[in-house]
Amino acid sequence: MNFDLVKTANNSRARAGLITTPHGKIETPVFMPVGTAGSVKGIHTRDLREDIKAEIILGNAYHLYLRPGIPILESAGGLHKFNTWDGPILTDSGGYQVFSLGEIRKISEEGTKFQSHIDGSYHLFTPEKVVDIQRSIGADIIMAFDECTPGDADFEYARKSLELTKRWLHRCFNRFTETEPLYGYNQSLFPIIQGSIYSELRKQATAHVKEFDADGYAIGGLSVGEKEEVMYEITETVASDLPGNKPRYLMGVGTPVNILESIDRGIDMFDCVIPTRNGRNGMLFTSEGVMNMRNKKWENDHSPIDENGTSFVDRYSKAYLRHLIISGEMLGAQIASHHNLAFYMWLVKTARNEIMEGDFKSWKNEMIKKLKTRL
Query: Taking contact as CB under 8 A, which single stretch among the options 10-18, 138-146, 323-331, 341-349 is the one that binds its own copies?
Result: 323-331
- Of 18 and 326, the one with the shorter C-beta distance to its own copies is 326
* Distance of closest approach, residue 334 Cβ to its own copies, in angstroms: 7
210 binds its own copies (CB under 8 A): no
Alpha-carbon distance 66 to 84, whole Å?
Answer: 20
Q: Binding-site residue total for its own copies (CB under 8 A)?
A: 42
The residue among 84 and 308 lying less far from its own copies, judged by its C-beta, is 84
Nearest-approach distance from CB 40 to its own copies, in angstroms:
8
86 binds its own copies (CB under 8 A): no
Which helix (H) or strand (E) segment holds residue 4: the answer is strand 2-8
Contact positions with its own copies (CB under 8 A) in 20-39: 37-39
Long-range contacts of 174-183 (CB under 8 A, 24+ apart): 174/128, 175/127, 175/128, 175/131, 175/132, 176/131, 176/142, 179/131, 179/132, 179/135, 180/135, 181/135, 181/138, 182/74, 182/78, 182/135, 182/136, 182/138, 183/77, 183/78, 183/138
Per DSSP, the residues of 28-60 read: ESEEE-B-TTSS-TT--HHHHHHTS--S-EEEE
Q: In whole angstroms, what is the distance from residue 267 CA to residue 371 CA?
A: 19
Q: Is 271 a catalytic residue?
A: yes
Q: For its own copies, which residue of 2, 10, 20, 75 counts as binding (CB under 8 A)?
A: 75
Selected catalytic residue, list 47, 51, 92, 306: 92
Instruction: Output 86 or 357, the one with its CB closest to its own copies.
Output: 86
Residues that bind its own copies (CB under 8 A): 37-44, 46, 67-68, 71-72, 75-77, 81-84, 299-300, 302, 312-313, 315-317, 319-320, 322-324, 326-327, 329-335
Catalytic residues: 92, 271
